[in-house]
Amino acid sequence: MLILKKKTAELLAAAVKEKFGEGLLSEEEIFSGLEYPPDSSMGDIALPCFRLSKALRRSPVDIAAGLAEAIRCDEFASVTALKGYLNFKIDPTAFSARVVNDVATLGDKYGSPKSGEGKTVVLDYSSPNVAKPFHIGHLGTTVIGHSLKLLHEFAGYKCVGINYLGDWGTQFGKLIVAYKLWGDKEAILRGGVDELVKLYVKINNAIKDEEDASLAANPDGEKHSELADASRREFTKLEHGDEENLALWRWFVDVSLAEYQKTYKLLGIDFDSYKGESFYTDKMPAQVEKLREMGLLEIDDGASIVNLEKWNMPVCLILKRDGSTLYPTRDIAAAVYRYNTYNFDKAIYVTSAAQSLHFAQWFKVVELMGYEWYPGLVHVPYGTVSINGAKLATRTGNVVLLKDLFAEAISRVYDITKEKHPDHDECMAIAEKVGVGAIVFYYLSNNRMRDINFMMEDALSFDGNTGPYVQYTYARTCSVLERAGTKGEMTDAPLGEVEFELAKCISRFPERVAAAIDEYEPSLVTRYILDLAAAYNRFYHECKILSCEDEKIRSSRIALTAAANQVLRTALHLICMQTPDKI
Ligand code: ARG
């Protein structure tokens, strides 16, 4: 459809020139004014002429009439002027054949905007904090991030996916103290991150108790905790390379990562780099030095900061009073390292909107430091996730772990499929794909900035706009093709409205992909999948495919099914969904 829209704009630009004179409207201006009318009985593409009135100094009605006269093209069945609109009707059979043939020739490349060829993008996403829970708050960064990676790869970008693990910081001092006091190696080997989180929660509570007790004993004094002091000492030892602490730290990171990997595997995600926060420790001093040399640092109550008042932002903290570095300091050093390593055109960071200010601040600092690549830095924020029903709450308090969310979805789908097909031995494999897909699809159906209240029942339903429904539709196309035993071929048999609607929907895929990349919005692909599934299901119910007596029509309908099958598969993969061919 995009190609046709472009071509329409081209024809119109020529017609404007012929009818009304040179230099009045560019092809781009015309292109951006073209619309797809909601009711296609009017036309398949339309140009509302109201906005052109000023530039062309004529009434919309005159403009539409004049242009209708000047356009000549066999792509269109008709071009008519109606009340200030210019309506283009496409020849359904020729158009559908072209679209279906395009899909057949390009295969899984169909829809690629090719806008990324020769360019590199690094994507920083997921990035959980070791020994803290990997919870539903991370669902957004994980699936939006990975989907953006897949979309960029699809557009031809060279992509580097980075998991910037939170693997450094004072929490490791606490964890080391807790482990030395109460730790049980066997329990951690068995229980993984959950055990680490328990230790972490336990020491935090113990510190709080000590502090409260110290305040109760001396209400005017400063709060104090032995355990907090010990934690600081252990972290300092770790920073200085103490072997015992380093070995513990490495073990904690490995245990955590091994567990995150299980979730990544379910989602089909892997990263090109796991360089976490610890990796950048020795890369910060050079950036701090540069800031100081450039006169960008100010001392504020003993801390070193960059003043961002001119840009209406609070100060960016670079060094604490005790000289230790902060979150922005590390991000700046990491960005410099990544630019030097990957020479990126874009560096995308996907985090919750709660971190928007942090990114705006340090992006500004990078600009002030004179790094010419600062315009390539992009922050992609997303809204909050909450969950209905207490059933999913975990032992770790009120957070819902991602692995529990997926496990719950998988087990529910398993029960349903097992009931329907008791002798099906692939039930578990299918339940994994459908259960995980249901969560991903539900999450990615919404505009990313929207706050989501997760409803498990809704996500898993087979008859709503859900993951299971679209996967089922995909499986339906597979089954038609399997029974047909051929991919069909478009013929000159005239097509009806329903088939034409399906072809038009297929033709819109490339522009939806392009928009999803431009807006960093995977939900545009999700919603496209729903449109395509609806168009295919309508076609499936209203048109005989395999039982159609007319051989030519049957062949065209099979070919339409093959095209829908290809585009559904491509689109589902772009939003991290699997495509089982049977459900
Ligand atoms: N680990 C951080 C968190 O869980 C997210 C890191 C995002 N990436 C970054 N470069 N700051 O909040």
CATH number for the domain spanning 406: value is 1.10.730.10
More confident residue, 522 or 384: 522
Instruction: State the alpha helices, DSSP H only, in 85-192.
Output: 92-106, 137-154, 171-182, 185-191
> Domain holding 38: CATH number?
3.30.1360.70
Give the CA distances from residue 266 to residues 99, 165, 292, 468, in Å, rounded to whole numbers and listed in that order: 34, 19, 46, 16
Using only the alpha carbons of the chain, give its radius of gyration: 29
Domain extent for 208: 138-285+330-387
Q: Mean pLDDT, to the nearest integer, of 543-566?
A: 97
| Contact assessment for residue 49 and residue 76, using Cβ atoms and an 8 Å cutoff | no
Give the CA distances from residue 173 to residues 140, 176, 234, 255, 561, in Å, rounded to whole numbers and listed in that order: 29, 5, 5, 17, 59
pLDDT in tens, 307-348: 999 999 999 999 999 888 899 999 999 999 999 999 999 999
pLDDT confidence of 395, banded at 50, 70, 90?
Answer: very low
Question: What's the CA gap between 34 and 45, in Å, rounded?
Answer: 7
Instruction: Check pocket membership of 127 for ligand 1, CB cut-off 6 A.
Output: yes
Ligand 1 centroid distance, CA of 570 (Å): 30
Q: How far is CA 292 from the centre of its chain?
A: 37
Ligand 1 centroid distance, CA of 139 (Å): 13
485 shares a domain with 378:
no
492 shares a domain with 352:
no
- pLDDT number for residue 391: 46
412 shares a domain with 338:
no
| Contact assessment for residue 306 and residue 298, using Cβ atoms and an 8 Å cutoff | yes
Last residue of a domain, one of 28, 55, 90: 90
pLDDT confidence of 390, banded at 50, 70, 90?
Answer: very low
| Contact assessment for residue 108 and residue 63, using Cβ atoms and an 8 Å cutoff | no
**Element at 331 (helix H, strand E):** helix 327-342
519 shares a domain with 417:
yes
Give the CA distances from residue 71 to residues 10, 14, 78, in Å, rounded to whole numbers and listed in that order: 11, 9, 10
Question: What's the CA gap between 180 and 242, in Å, rounded?
Answer: 15
Q: Is residue 341 part of a domain?
A: yes
455 shares a domain with 339:
no
Q: Is residue 461 part of a domain?
A: yes
Last residue of a domain, one of 90, 117, 149: 90
Pairing of strands 297-300, 303-306: antiparallel
Q: Is residue 455 predicted with pLDDT exceeding 90?
A: no
Last residue of a domain, one of 90, 120, 155: 90
Q: Is residue 129 part of a domain?
A: no
Q: Is residue 397 part of a domain?
A: no
Q: Dihedrals φ, ψ of 69, to 5°?
A: -70, -35
Among 294, 444, 462, residue whose Cα is nearest residue 383 = 444
**Atom number, ligand 1, closest to the C-alpha of residue 358:** 11
**Element at 453 (helix H, strand E):** strand 452-454
Give the CA distances from residue 343 to residues 312, 325, 347, 368, 395, in Å, rounded to whole numbers and listed in that order: 30, 25, 10, 19, 44
336 shares a domain with 459:
no
Percent of the chain as helix, strand, coil, to the nearest 5: 60, 10, 30
Q: Mean pLDDT, to the nearest integer, of 176-199?
A: 93
Ligand 1 centroid distance, CA of 567 (Å): 34
Q: Is residue 398 predicted with pLDDT exceeding 70?
A: no
Ligand 1 centroid distance, CA of 302 (Å): 26
377 shares a domain with 422:
no
* Residue with CA closest to ligand 1 atom 6: 127
Q: Is residue 200 part of a domain?
A: yes
Q: CA angle, 378 as apex, 374 and 383 as ends, to 5°?
A: 150
Question: What's the CA gap between 514 and 518, in Å, rounded?
Answer: 6
> Domain holding 378: CATH number?
3.40.50.620
What is the pTM assigned to this prediction?
0.91
Q: Is residue 316 part of a domain?
A: no
If one counts the domains in the chain, the total is 3
Question: How many CB atoms lie under 10 A from the CB of residue 582?
Answer: 11
Pocket test for ligand 1, best of 171, 284, 355 (most atoms within 8 A of CB): 355
Q: How far is CA 458 from the centre of its chain?
A: 21
216 shares a domain with 73:
no
201 shares a domain with 63:
no
| Contact assessment for residue 528 and residue 520, using Cβ atoms and an 8 Å cutoff | no
406 shares a domain with 381:
no
Q: Dihedrals φ, ψ of 348, to 5°?
A: -105, 135
- pLDDT number for residue 475: 97
- pLDDT number for residue 397: 56
478 shares a domain with 358:
no
Question: What's the CA gap between 499 and 211, in Å, rounded?
Answer: 71
Q: Is residue 550 part of a domain?
A: yes
Instruction: Check pocket membership of 331 for ligand 1, CB cut-off 6 A.
Output: yes
339 shares a domain with 257:
yes
pLDDT confidence of 249, banded at 50, 70, 90?
Answer: very high
Q: Is residue 358 part of a domain?
A: yes
pLDDT in tens, 38-73: 888 888 999 999 988 988 899 999 999 999 999 877
Among 475, 428, 382, residue whose Cα is nearest residue 142 = 382
